[in-house]
Amino acid sequence: MQSFANNLSIRVSVSAKADQEFDAAFAPGRDKGKNTYRYVLLRFPLLSFFMIRTMSVNHRETKPSLAHATTPTPDLFRIDGRTVLITGGGGAVGLEAARAVLESGGDAICKDRQEKPLEVPWRTVLAASKKYGTRAWYYQCDVTNEENVRHVFKTSMEGIRFPFRGMVACAGISGDGATIDFPIDKAKRILEVNVTGSLICAQAASREFQQQGAPGSIVFIASMSGHISNKGLDTAAYNSSKSAVVQMARSLAAEWGSRAGIPLIRVNTVSPGYIRTRMSEASLKDPEIEKKWMEDNMLMRLSEAHEYRGAIVFLLSDASSFMTGSDIKVDGGHTAW
């Protein structure tokens, strides 16, 4: 009771002072916005706490552009002197993303759930590294395990020669089947890898950008299936996960694009169309599915993993300096019908 009485007397005293200041605050020529806030701070200290917190969260500032008018256009697409981490770096698109980074002057850190990358594709990555004088590393990592992701980020960053400036989130799984009978455990796993795993890695990347004080670019590999439904294939869980990735990228872009006190972090997505990969291999065994998929886009063919290199490097580089919260559809015109 004594504590309550003391607190009450303090509040009465503060309120009386606030009333006096409020009268003065609205005198002609005074800054009413600033003084209104001061009045609230004095009269309602608890409310002011939440105001301060909200102002801190929402306080924005303009970050300097990383692109310069005098930079030759081809150089805008270079990522020399940067380290880029690729999740799903042992898969088809991930390996091509790594090769693209190496060929564009950057070093690449690949991580995937298998202990070692596939030997033949990895040779292509190492060949690019040797040819262009860049470096490539591979780490085993489970993107759904927060502790494991933190450990791999910490370990991999200890050996880099260039600042960490980008991440490409390629890790993902799929699954099809009639939704009414689709195993919920399988649906949860798809969402866990594609959505939660992407978020965990984005958090880790953001922490690293902030620790280094360097700007960064995050590229999520989404899917055209996050924008449309697939004909001839029931993939409700997968489509939902990729739609979530697109929206997550927009939300992170809004949060990190102009937040005061942190470096510039741009976040975008690439939405591929149908690709010939191990993931789509089972579906493509059905000739009718392959025919339908080909006819459903404007180019009447399926894509290859290497055809996504350009979009990925563009979003990692300063050529896309005024892009964030955007999605690039590389789908042969499938979603443009």
226-247 average pLDDT score:
95
Q: Please state, in angstroms and rounded to a whole number, the distance separating the CA atoms of residues 307 and 168.
A: 15
Give percent above pLDDT 90 in the chain.
77
- β-pairing, 107-112 vs 136-140, is parallel
Residue owning tokens 């002197």: 81
Q: Please state, in angstroms and rounded to a whole number, the distance separating the CA atoms of residues 310 and 90.
A: 19
Whether pLDDT at 230 is above 70: yes
- Give the strands of the sheet with 164-169, arranged side by side: 136-140, 107-112, 83-87, 164-169, 216-221, 265-272, 327-330
Q: What is the pLDDT of residue 34?
A: 42
Provide the 3-class DSSP secondary structure of residue 170. Answer: coil
Q: What is the pLDDT of residue 278?
A: 80
Q: Please state, in angstroms and rounded to a whole number, the distance separating the CA atoms of residues 187 and 175.
A: 8
For the whole model, what pTM was predicted? 0.83
- Give every CB contact of residue 178 below 8 A, 6+ residues apart in sequence: 234
Residue 138 CA neighbour count, 13 Å, CB half: 22
Q: Hey, what domains does the chain have and what are their CATH numbers?
A: 2-55 (no CATH), 73-336 (3.40.50.720)
Amino acid in the structure at residue 135: R
Q: Please state, in angstroms and rounded to a whole number, the distance separating the CA atoms of residues 199 and 154.
A: 17
User: Residue 303 phi/psi, 5° resolution?
Assistant: -90, 165
Provide the 3-class DSSP secondary structure of residue 87. Answer: strand
Q: Please state, in angstroms and rounded to a whole number, the distance separating the CA atoms of residues 264 and 245.
A: 20
Among candidate residues 39, 238, 274, 308, the one labeled active-site is 238
Residues in the chain: 337
List, for residues 189-203, the tens digit of each pLDDT value.
999 999 999 999 999
Q: Please state, in angstroms and rounded to a whole number, the distance separating the CA atoms of residues 266 and 328.
A: 14
pLDDT band at 47 (very low <50, low <70, confident <90, very high): low
Give percent above pLDDT 70 in the chain.
83
Element spanning 136, H or E? strand 136-140
Task: Look up 292 and say whether it is catalytic.
Answer: no
Q: What is the pLDDT of residue 63?
A: 94
Task: Look up 238 and say whether it is catalytic.
Answer: yes
What are the residues facing 327 on neighbouring strands? 269
Q: What is the pLDDT of residue 23?
A: 53
Q: Output the CA angle 181-184-189, nearest 5 degrees.
A: 130
Whether pLDDT at 116 is above 60: yes
Residue 48 CA neighbour count, 13 Å, CB half: 10
Q: Cα-Cα-Cα-Cα dihedral of 301, 305, 311, 317, to 10°?
A: -170
Among candidate residues 63, 111, 242, 329, the one labeled active-site is 242
Whether pLDDT at 49 is above 60: no
Q: Output the CA angle 68-326-208, nearest 5 degrees.
A: 70
Q: Output the CA angle 246-251-252, nearest 5 degrees.
A: 100
Q: What is the pLDDT of residue 78?
A: 98
Buried (b) or exposed (e) across 296-316, using 16+ Cβ within 10 A? Answer: bbeeeebbebbebbebbbbbb
More confident residue, 269 or 20: 269
114-140 average pLDDT score:
96
Sign of CA dihedral 88, 90, 94, 100: positive
The per-residue pLDDT of the chain, averaged, comes to 88
DSSP state of 297: S
